[in-house]
Structures are given as structure tokens and as C-alpha cells.
Structure 1
Amino acid sequence: MKKPVTIHTRRLTIGLGKAVAKRTILRAGEDWTEVAKRVAKGNSSLIPARLKKHRLAEYKLLKKHIANATILMSGRHLQHGDATQPTRNMEVFTNCSTASASFIVFYLLLNGSGVGRAYDDDMCLVNWDHMSVVRCVLDDKHPDFVWGEDESVKEARHKYAKAYWFVVPDSREGWAQAIEKIEVMAYEKKYKDDLLVLDFSKVRPKGSPIGGMQDRPASGPKPLMRAIQKVTTVKNAGMPSWKQAMFVDHYLAECVLVGGARRAARIATKVWTDPDIFDFIDLKQGGFLWSANDSVAVDDKFWQQKAKHAKRVLDAVLHASYHHDTGEPGLFNQHRFVQNDTGFDGYRDGKYAISNKYQPGKKTTRMLSHLARNAGSKVYMQIPNPCGEITLNMLGGYCVIADVVPYHAPDFASALEAFRAATRALIRVNTMDSLYNREVSRTNRIGVSMTGIHEFGWNAFGYSFRDLINEEKSKDFWLTLAAFKRAVVDEAEKYSRFLGLVTPHTNTTIKPAGTTSKLFGLSEGAHLPAMREYIRWVQFINGDPLVAKYKKEGYPVRELKSYHGTTVVGFPTQPEICRLGMNGELVTAGEATPEEQFKWLMLLEKYWIVGIDESGNPLPDTGNQVSYTLKYKKDKVNFRHFKAMMKKYYSQVKCASVMPQQELTAYEYQPEEAVTIGDFMKTLNEITGELDEDIDLEVLKCDTGACPI
């Protein structure tokens, strides 16, 4: 390295970092040191009790690296990690997953996991036209029962002489079982004219605390009851099965969003060879089915562009992506995803989705067996998670991910130690009970990621973005990343052997890292900083006493005209990278050309995702993907340029989101407003005190735009 790494005292960034931590991570009375202790305790407790010395050593090491922020476990770990972790289900600690049936999609969303699903014709087996006649009922003594709106249990018992009844348990598992009943009865095609009554009387009322979710208020039974009524509208709507499934999953995702569990992040994929692919490409035009990002699965045959169908699909995708202004549908190169089918044939028994907490019924197992047979007949079975950074079996799998921040490491040895410690921590997570126990045991898949990469490149090597994409000039930087990759590979093999597990099929990635990077003001994952200094405008309801406090302390405040009853408060924000003395060499996302960004992606895949040995030869590919949103300006990139660029570069990377940069300056409210350094300092100087800042939760939801691929 050309320059020694600066040792930083690790504190949450004043303003933005503290606001994000308060919103998403910190429990009552906690600071960052206590978060490190809590999360390290939970993860190290996954080590068997017989390995007492190892457990203690790992606790101390993990606590040290989290406290110093050289390791940032994903936000799910930072939120939920504590001494109870060994007793909880793995889904709570996974960022994303995949699913092959609607009830599983719903169950995973309820657990806070983002979900990907393949809507290929042969993976959508349920014809929802065969759905039963479904009625949702509620005891008239339930606090959420509304006379004249809800059907009571008493009335239903009196009215329906012959019906299948299911009392919905008050749990995530119970809600998923209700959907399972509907879906499997439709799959069997025997109950189309029969009545299925779902009794929600046991579901706790709205506002009741939810244990295991920091006592957040329950939504009550109404969101699911309304969602099921929407699901019934797909029956006899004249849609093919794959399209029915997309609407069903959308209605269920809406339910999760309304219930407040999380944003219900999803990705919907469809293989390019399906006859209905053109309908899929245009499906979201007009704002429909907004809860999922849509992407087309392509392969090497597609990119040869010899078949007329392949040419038509590429033209349609590129036209929609550019002219609909959304970047959708995206593309992903299925043939480049790591796929290891060892042990997969066993899934044909249909028992690949079962855990201590959730056991599908016997009839369900037959449906899942049918799905497994169809998946097994495919050449490519891997699809990405919603943010694109992990390759997962389309039947089911999980993202188990964490960031290492080499920028925060005092030296190369400390950085290596952090990469190895993060590798071990993620492998331990894979020993937890989960719905996909078999797939987790078969693959032991993990994703060790990095964030603050641009800060590391400048601080340790003196390289700006444009230096980094000059491979020869910045070779020492890239060889350092390759050394980190080899350390992850080596540790994954050794530690898995130590615990008696298979070696992880994949081990490195770069995730979006939007929330965790904000804790310390870092550039997010592989992304360039979106802007230099800026004002974060946060919405408050008019009359909120906090507004008066902020105004008194000198923060900029303005009442919005186009958002009635809303006032915004401005918080001046300066990313960490702006404080490193780059003297004009800093490149923001909007300043890098698409071609430069593709080159950056290809180098990251070469040295970190795939890796090279000490002689410079590629390693066997054990990498996942880089989650990256490549933005371009339509006033500089016309459609002809865009089309040529995609044809030239996209086949050379595993995946990426390519989308136009939105022009927001015409809007009265912008969550983030770029300002000059002069205006930034002026605003800062007018603030006389320091109050706890806030942040809109909406801004934390894939604000880098890294989700749609």
C-alpha cells in the first residue's frame, strides 16, 4: 500500500448515521458499543456449547470488529441479533430469499425477507381458476369486527351448510397456512365449486404488541382478509397461470406492506424463451404490479442473437427499459451465475421447504415435488435475490450477508482478520433452523461483501474512481482485493470443515449496503457517491413540536404547498469521502459514463467475485454477484447509444440494474438536494445547536436504486 490506513475512532456519523441507527437498529438506551456486544453475543452463541473457548474467542473478536465497524453485519442482524438468536428461525436474519409457491413467498415476506420468484411457465403450476369459493369470517366479539362490513362466524355457521373450515392461527405460520390452503386446493383442481371458510377470530387485534419484533403494533386480521378477497379476483379473469401468480403475490405483498412488517421487496423473473415473454416485458407499464422488480433471465444463446425470437426479446426489453423511464424489465445472465447441482435430485420428494416452525401439508408436498421435477429439468435453476447480489436456487434459498469495511481497518492484517471473521460468522448463521434447511445444508451459501470501497481506494492507495478503472495503474489495489478474496475462500473451506459442513458453494458478493453504510457516511457497496454535500429534507406533519425545536436551533424549515399539511426540515450532510482531501478527483455517480461503470463492474467481478491466484490465474468461480445500479442521463445517452452500450457490455457481467437518472429538480420536495460547498457551510454555520436528526423510512428503501435488475 502507498499510504498507511488512518485509524478512526468509530462513532456513528453525527446527523445521518445517528438518525438511521435510531430508526432501524438501536434499542432503548443503546449506543453502538452495546449493539456490537449484543450482535456478537447472538452470533457467537450459535457455536456449540462444547466449544466454550472458541465461542468466547469469537465473541471477543466479532465484538471488536463490529464496534470498530470493520465488520458491519447486515441490518437484519444489527436489528435482531442478541442472546436469543439460537432459538429463532433463520429467516429473521436473512436479507432475501427465493420461493416457488405463493404461500412460501408470503411466509418469507412476513419474516421480513425480500423474495425472488421465477414466473416461468413451467414453474407456475397452479391454475387459480380452480380456486375454491373463499369466505373470510370473524367472531363478532373480536375488537376489529365491524357490523355491516364483516361476516361473523355465527352468521357463517348458520348460512353455510357444507364448507371446508380453517381457523387461522395467530402467527406468521398461521397466516401462511391460510394461503397454503387456498393454493393447494386450487392446484388439485377438485374444489373449484366448494366453499372454503377462513376464520380469523384467533388473530390478535390491531395495535397489540408483536413479540420478537420489538413489540411493534400488530396489524390485526383485516389486511390479510382484504388481501384474500383481492386474490379471489384472479379466478376466471382470463389470465395464464404465471400472470395469475404475479397478481396473487402482489396482493399478498401489499398486505405485508400495509401490516408494517417491512417494504415487501420482491423480484419477479421470467426466462426469455417463454412464449408470453413479451406480455411480461410490458406488464408493469402504467404503474401496475409495483411491488416487484421484473427481470428477464437470459443466457449465452440469447446473446448470440441468431434466433428471431432472441432479437425480438432484446429489442423489446431495451425499448421498455429506456422509454418507460424505469429501467425495467432488467436482464440477468443466468449462464454466468454459479450453479452447483450436487445433492439436488433429492428435492424431488417435495420436502425442501420444511422447518421446526413450518411444516407444509402432505398434499402440499405433492405440489412442491412437481415443482422440483420441473426445476430439475432446466439447464439453469439459479435466479437472483431482489437486490441482485446472491445467486439462489429458484426453489428456495437465502441471502446470508455481511460487509467488511477495509477502510476502517488500521492495517492490512486487521482487514484480513475482519474478512476471515465475517466468513465464520456467516457460516454460523447457516446452522440455524430454517424453512430451507436442506438447501442451506447442501450449499452453505454465504456472501461476504465490502462497503466504503471508494474511501479505501483513496485513503490506502491514493486512487480515485478513474484511477481504479485503469487496471494497470491501480494494480496494487486490485491485487489487494484478490488477496481478500483468497482469504475468504480459504477461511470458508477451513471453518466449514471444522464445523462438519460442506464448503460454501458461493462466498463473496457486493451488496447494496444502503442502510449500514449510512451509519458511517460511507459510499454504498460498489456504488459511487450519489452527490457531494447535500441537504436531507425530512417530512414532518405540520404542528409537530419537533419542527419548532429544529427551527429554533437554526435548521432550514419550509412548509410544502404541494403536500398539504407537511413541513420539511433540512439537515446538511457531508459524506465521509468528501472529507478525504480528494481535491477535485471525486467522481459522483452522475459524472461517470456508463462505459466507465461497466468497466468498474467487470474489474470487481474479476478480482473480488471470481478472484485470481497469486500467479494471476482465475480461481474456480465461487462468487455471487455485484449489486449495482448503473445510471445514465437520457440527455447524454440517446436510445441508439443505450442500445449499442447494452449489446456491447451487458453480456460480460453477471447482472446489473441499468436505469435512467430521474430529474427531480422540478419537484417541490426532494429527499436529497445537492448544494455547493459554500451553501453547505452557510447552512451549517446557521445551526446553533445539535439535536437528534431524523430520516424518512422511505429514503432507506433501496434509495440507491439497487433493487431492480
Structure 2
Amino acid sequence: MPEWGPIGREVYERTYSRRTAAGGRETWPETVARTVDGNLALAGGGEPGEREALVEMIESFQAVPAGRHLWVSGVPGKQYLFNCHRAGWSGGLGEHAAFLFDALMVGGGVGADYTSVPETRYKQVELEIVCNHRHHDARDVAGLPTAPAGYPAVVAHDSREGWVQTLAALVSAHVHGPGAIAIDLSHIRQAGDPLKRFGGTASGPAPLAGMLREVNAVLNRQRVGMLDYMEIDHAIASCVVAGNVRRSARMSIVRWDAPGVMDFIKCKSDDGAHWSTNISVGVDDAFWLSCASGQEHANRVLGAVAEGMAANGEPGLYNLSLAAVGERGDVSSTNPCGEIPLEEWEPCNLGHINLGIRDGIPHRERARLMARFLVRATMSPDVHELQRPVLERNRRIGVGLYGVHEWMLSMGVAYSAVEHLGSARRRLDKMLRALYADVRAAARSYCDELGLPAPVKYTTIAPTGTISLLSGHTAGAHPVLARHFLRRVRYADTDPALEAYPPAMVEPCAWSKNTSVVSMLCEDPLAAKYGRLVEDAHDLTISEQLAVQDLLQDAWADNAVSYTVALPQAAPPGEVRTALLEYGPRLKGLTMFPALSRHQQPIERLTQEQYDQMSAKLRAVTAQAEDACVGAACPVR
């Protein structure tokens, strides 16, 4: 039986356990067997004993592929194996918007570079939404019962492709005409009906109607520029809330020297605006040289970024010059969490080694097995037609790590020790480089065996989202966030799992419609096991945290490291600016997040006194939040 983390079983059942043909739910061993068999089938099988080793490794959480593999690998029909993507602009707004909508609806996250999108004036379009009055959700749609005379009608088919086609038709009308269009949503299934192919339940036609109206309103403006395109993409992402399966995640990047960058930096300063996207400013070697030489604009940008990070955690920085090293094409955007620089239309392909478990299969053998697993995933036939060329050219994989803090503690190394260039750092550096060499050698050898080009990049550090929660280990490279804290988990309002929680733990989500938030009271067990050697994120300085990211990028991750520095609530912007100047030129990505930045953030630190008071109130509620839960959050399964 698996050794679940404190909320691991609940997370698994909510997120990865599929319905069986008999109407029940998969068990964890059944999910693992399906995942492994589906992956091996992509290459016609594996080496002798590989299936058994993969099953043992994944079942016991020694290494786990990204959640997308757990959810769809081995499922009959379409297998959308890639977590995240980059939406391009080479084919214009219509192609960009359709790709974004499609990728989000199969549960992926999407990044985009908005720097060079030209300001455009589109044709004015009068839009009418049609929905038969007998439809269960007609009142929510608030449309006309039939199309008005003279309006060309587009019928939305009840499928993911049908929804994408309606958006494409609307954008086409703004580009080519006609000046009026009626979109009929009468055939969209009602809210709550099951989604057969991807799982979960339908949201009904109302979100689609709302999105089409919002996009139409933006395109009817006199001029449509960078922030307007972001608003369109946000409307699309907001629409993608289908039952208890899909949540939208995006990344928006704009270069530091782009017109309008200061407005971009401030676009999320008001709570609720552009909530579906992370934002990062793209910087390069010229930016850091300009900052050092006192150039006014560069220093204004740096100051605004530091102020934003200290105030609400946005924007981040993305180092375009470092990211381009070793790449075959333009990688001016990343996936939503920033660990994978991507070419236009490229997907990311992730799996993670749990360094927090030292027993069992040796770490280096786990690295070899996961590299082979991800190479096979690049052979998936189910990719968007725009992705096939770049996927086959790059074969990019991202073997990641989590449980890093436990790994360090098990060797007697304090998290803060990495900043000091002594024996502890040298020891970690040597082990990480050996592990990287194993991943690279295994992937190159297997690609040669399969007749594939070698991957452009091999390794990464992702936030690991729900994956780390399965076994209760620390997420990615992050330290223990807090000894005591509230962990918030989001559920669709239609999810029956909500019924298991008392009302005191549940509240409406402030940012997503049709969503509830469950607050789980948690205590981290590492403090009890390792005592004073355990430093939580709030014990560590900015520099002590960034030193670990620096080590991992230098010795392990040839893609990038997704890492968020935990700031105290009142961190001075000047202190943040100093850290950016020190580490920014040598890190591919840099993000900081202050305590209590936003209402309903995934994790909220508690003092011992607060924990004791809340524990007394919620003493009866322990099934899902008994002893601990740890880790950063990623909204993409």
C-alpha cells in the first residue's frame, strides 16, 4: 500500500482517479498500471523489467511523472500528455486564440510573449448569442431564442472543437467580416452533465456566452494593443472552468524595453485583475548592463518590479539571454510556472524524482527510468497540429526533483548552508551533476535507439503542485514553508467531495466562479523529526533562498528552475532590488512572494498560538488534514 501524505489520498481521489467502466473509481495501483502501460505502448514496449521497475517507482512515490501522465496516459482515445504549452502569434490572433482555448480546455497551462503583438484596429461586429428557451441553462445564457434576421448564424457544436470553432468564427468576423454574427449555443450540454472524453462535469453554455461577449467587446475598441490581447486571453481562460477537472493557468511575458512595459508591470496591482496569468518582465544582458550604468528606463523598470514583488509578488523576471543558451529557436516565453523555456507552440513534458525518499530504487536509476519515460512521451500521436514540428525537432524533456529539503536534511545540511561556499554546497553540487549526467546519457542513448534526435534540454525544477502532496514531501526545491499553516484546496462547486467538509472549512472562491475553497489546518512533521536543523521559509533570508536556486540551476537544471522566494509581509523594496541585482544576471527566472499577498492564497502561515486556537475549533475535522501538508501550488494537473 502507498504511504500517502496527510492529504495525499484525498488529492489523488479528487485529481487523478478516473471512473472505471463499472462505474467505480480507480485505485492508485490501477492508475499507476494504466499510466505505465500507456507510456510503454508509445514505443512498442520497454526493456526487460522496465515495466515492473516503473510500477514500483511510481506506486511508492520514489519518482512520479507529471500529473497529466497520471490522468490520461493509457486512456483509450485521445491522450493529451503535456502539461503546458506556448501560444504563438505567427498566424495572427485567430490562430493564437484558438490554440490557447484548445490547450486550456484539455487542462494545459499556456504561456505567451506579448511584446511584439502589433496594435491593431479590427472591424466592428455586432454579436448576438442564441439559446433555445427550452435549454436548461437558457436563463443563464440570457440570449435570444432565435437568430435575428440578416445575422449569419454559427452553430456551436457540443464538443471542445465546437467551442474553439465558435471563438475562431468570432475573431474571423472581426478580421474579415461580416459586421454581424449570431452564435447559437442551443446544442451545448447543460451544466453538470458528465464530460466523457476528458472527465469531470460540464459547465453549460453560460461561460462560453460570457467569454464571447467579452472578446467581442474588446475587439470592438478603436485600437487593440498589448494589454487588450491579455484581456482577451484572460476572458478565454476564465471560460475554461468545466466541472472538477479544468482550471486555467497562464504566463504573460513582456520585454523590459517594450512600449507599455510600465503599464504591464502594474496590470495585476488591483486584486482580481488578470488573475488567470502569472506575469514576468523579460530581461537580458543589456538590461543588467543598463541598470549598472545608471540608465534611467532600466532602473525605473527594476524599481517597479521590486516594488511589485514586495507588495503582491508580481511581476517576476525572465532572463532571455540565459534562457537562449543551448536552444535551437526563440524561447521568449515559458510555461506558466517558468521552469521550461519554450519555442512557439512547443509543449513541456515533465516527470519528477523524489529525493526525499532515500530507500528503494537508487536515485540515479530513478533518473534513468524517468528520462526514458519522458522520451517515450514525445512520441505521443495526440498533439496539436501546430506542435508536431517543434516537438519532433526538440524532443524537450524535463526531469525534475522534489523533496529537496528533506534530502538536504537527511545529510545533515541546513538549507541556509548552501549560501556559504563550503563543503556542504560542494557535496550537493557533485551529487546533482552526477544525477544530471545520468539523465542526459539515458535520454540520448534511448533516442539513438529509437531513431530520434537528442532532446534540446533534459532537466528542470518544477513547483510539482499536487504531485508532492501525494506523498507529503516538500515541493520542488522549496524549503518547508511553515511549521504550521492553512492549506487551501480549490474544488468545483459541483464536486461531491465538498460534502465531506464542515461549513466552517468551506467558502466561495474569491477569484473563480463556480468554485469553492477548503481551508485545511496543517502541521509539518519535519520540524519534529529534525528539530532545529529545520529552517522554514520565513527563517531564511532572500539570499539564502536564492542560493539554493542558483545551485540547482548551475548543477542540475538545463531548462530552468521554478522557485518562489518567500518574503516577509513588509519586505522593503530596496532589499528586494538589491537581491535582484545580485542574482538576476545569473538566474533564468526570479520570483518573490510576500506573506499574505492575496486573499485565499494557497498557503497561509500560522503562529503556534494561531494554530492551537484553530485546532481547538476544528478538532473534529482531521480526515484530510491530519498531521501536515507541504508545498507550493501549481493549478495545472
TM-score bucket (shorter structure): 0.7 to 0.9
How many angstroms apart in 1 are the aligned matches of 2:309 and 2:605?
A: 26
Supply the distance in 2 between the matched residues of 1:311 and 1:417 (Cα, whole angstroms).
Answer: 47
Give the direction of change, closer, same or farther, for the CA distance of 1:132–1:259 in structure 2 (3 Å limit): farther
Match of residue 704, structure 1, among 628, 632, 636: 632
Q: Within the alignment, does 1:172 sit opposite 2:160 as a pair?
A: yes
Aligned to 2:130: 137
CA drift of 1:505 comes to 0.6
- Deviation track 1:45-101 (CA, whole Å, cap 9, x = no partner) reads 2122xxx5x3674322211110121111112222233353xx424xx3222111021
Is residue 19 from structure 1 mapped to residue 10 from structure 2 by the alignment? Answer: yes
CA contact (8 A) 2:399 2:459 kept: yes
1:470 matches 2:420? yes
What SS is found at the alignment partner of 1:408? coil
In structure 1, stretches of 5+ residues that fail to align are 1-8, 345-379, 552-556, 610-622
Distance 1:66 1:670 in 2: 26
Q: Distance in 1 between matches of 2:507 and 2:164?
A: 43
Matched residues in 1 for 2:106 and 2:508: separation? Answer: 36
Is the CA contact 2:480–2:631 (under 8 Å) kept in the aligned structure 1? no
**1:396 equivalenced with 2:345 (yes/no):** yes
TM superposition shift of 1:42: 1.8
Tell me whether 1:410 sits opposite 2:359 in the alignment.
yes
Q: Are residues 19 and 152 of structure 1, via their aligned partners in 2, closer, same or farther at CA, if it must alter by over 3 Å?
A: same
Of 567, 578, 583, the match for 2:531: 583
Over residues 630-669 of structure 1, what are the superposed CA-to-partner deviations in whole Å (9 max), with x where a residue is unaligned? 122254x4222222222222222110211222279xx999
- Alignment match, 1:658: 592
Choose from 537, 551, 568 the match for 1:633.
568
The residue that corresponds to 2:580 in the other structure is: 646
CA distance in 1, matches of 2:482, 2:625: 20
CA distance in 2, matches of 1:405, 1:599: 21
Question: What does residue range 507-656 of structure 1 map to in structure 2 within 5 Å?
Answer: 507-534=458-485, 573-579=522-528, 581-609=529-557, 623-635=558-570, 637-656=571-590
> Is contact 1:20-1:694 (8 Å) kept?
no
Between 1:143-152 and 1:199-208, the stretch displaced more is 143-152
Equivalent residue of 2:533, what SS? coil
Whether the aligned pair in 2 keeps the contact of 1:388 and 1:656 (CA below 8 Å) is no
Q: Deviations over 1:430-485 (max 9, x none)?
A: 111211111110111110001101111222x2212123443422122221111100
Distance 1:589 1:464 in 2: 12
Q: Quick one: percent identity of the two aligned structures?
A: 27
Q: 1:9-88 maps to which residues of 2 (within 5 A)?
A: 10-13=2-5, 15-27=6-18, 28-48=24-44, 52=45, 54=46, 57-84=49-76, 87-88=77-78
- CA distance in 2: counterparts of 1:548 and 1:254, whole angstroms: 25
Q: Which runs of 5+ in 2 are unaligned?
A: 19-23, 89-95, 510-515
Match of 1:434 in 2: 383
Letter in 2 for 1:133: E
Q: State how far apart, in whole Å, the 1-side matches of 2:463 and 2:192 are.
A: 33
Q: Which amino acid aligns with 2:533?
A: E
Counterpart residue type for residue 564 of structure 2: T
Distance apart, 1:132 and its partner CA: 3.2
Secondary structure in 1 matching 2:471: coil
SS, match of residue 602 in structure 1: helix
Question: Is the contact between residue 211 and residue 236 of structure 2 (CA under 8 Å) also seen in structure 1?
Answer: yes
Match of 1:330 among 316, 320, 328: 316
CA distance in 2: counterparts of 1:333 and 1:539, whole angstroms? 32
Match of 1:283 in 2: 267
| Structure 1: distance between partners of 2:141 and 2:249 | 35
How many Å separate the matches in 2 of 1:332 and 1:668? Answer: 26
The Cα shift of 1:316 comes to 2.9
Find the residue that maps to 2:423 and give its secondary structure: coil
Matches within 5 A, 1:684-695: 692-693=623-624
Give the residue type in structure 2 aligned to 1:586.
Answer: V
Q: Distance in 1 between matches of 2:202 and 2:501?
A: 32
The separation in 2 between residues aligned to 1:518 and 1:211, in whole angstroms, is 27
Residue of structure 1 in register with 2:206 after alignment: 222
Go from structure 1 to structure 2 and tell me whether the alpha carbon gap of 1:67 and 1:135 turns closer, same or farther (over 3 Å shift): same
Cα offset, 1:172, TM superposition: 1.1
How far apart are residue 238 of structure 1 and its match? 4.1
Contact 1:562 1:668 in 2 (8 A): no
Moved more, 515-524 or 25-34: 25-34
**Structure 1 residues 649 and 503 mapped into 2: Cα distance closer, same or farther (>3 Å)?**
same
Residue in structure 1 matching 2:241, options 254, 257, 271: 257
Separation (CA, whole Å) in 2 of partners of 1:605 and 1:628: 10
* Correspondence for 2:93: none
Q: Helix, strand or coil for the counterpart of 1:223?
A: helix
Q: Is the 8 A contact 1:99 1:115 kept in 2?
A: yes
* AA matched with 2:41: S
C-alpha distance in 2, partners of 1:569/1:283?
28
**Corresponding residue of 1:123:** 117
Q: How far is 1:558 from its partner?
A: 5.5
Kindly indicate whether the alpha-carbon contact (under 8 Å) linking 2:507 and 2:517 is maintained by their aligned counterparts in 1. no
Partner of 1:296: 281
Tell me the residue number matched to 1:386. 336
Partner of 2:99: 104
> Residues 691, 42 of structure 1: CA spacing in aligned structure 2 closer, same or farther, 3 A cutoff?
farther
Distance change in 2, residues 1:179/1:29 (3 Å): closer
Inter-partner Cα distance in structure 1 for 2:611 and 2:593 = 30
- Normalising by structure 1, what TM-score? 0.77
What letter is aligned with 1:145? A
Q: Which secondary structure does the structure 2 equivalent of 1:509 belong to?
A: coil
Partner of 1:6: none
After superposition, the Cα gap between the structure-2 partners of 1:17 and 1:680, relative to the gap in structure 1 and judged at 3 Å, is farther
Deviation at residue 171 of structure 1 after TM alignment: 1.4
- Local SS of the residue matching 1:321: helix
Alignment equivalent of 1:213, drawn from 174, 198, 218: 198
Distance 1:562 1:414, change over 3 A: closer
**Does the 8 Å contact 2:415/2:544 carry over to 1?**
no
1:197 aligns with 2:193: no
2:201, 2:243 within 8 Å by CA — same for their partners in 1? no
* Other-structure match for 1:674: 606
C-alpha contact 1:128 1:186 (8 A) present in aligned 2: no
Contact 1:297 1:332 in 2 (8 A): yes
- 1:693, distance to aligned residue in structure 2 (A): 2.3
AA at the equivalent of 1:416: R
* Contact 2:269–2:312 (8 Å) recurs in 1: no
CA RMSD between the two structures: 3.9
Report what 2:232 is aligned to. 248
Which of the residues 293, 296, 316 maps onto 2:304? 316
1:305-361, CA deviations, whole angstroms, 9 ceiling, x for partnerless residues? 144432332233333333xx212222110111146665x6xxxxxxxxxxxxxxxxx
- For residue 78 of structure 2, what is the amino acid of its counterpart? R
Q: After TM superposition, give the deviation of residue 418 of structure 1 in Å.
A: 0.8
| Equivalent residue pairs, number | 609
Letter in 2 for 1:169: H
Map of 1:502 onto structure 2: 453
Change (3 A) 1:321 1:537: closer
- 2:537 aligned counterpart, secondary structure: coil
Instruction: Report the Cα offset of residue 250 of structure 1.
Output: 1.1
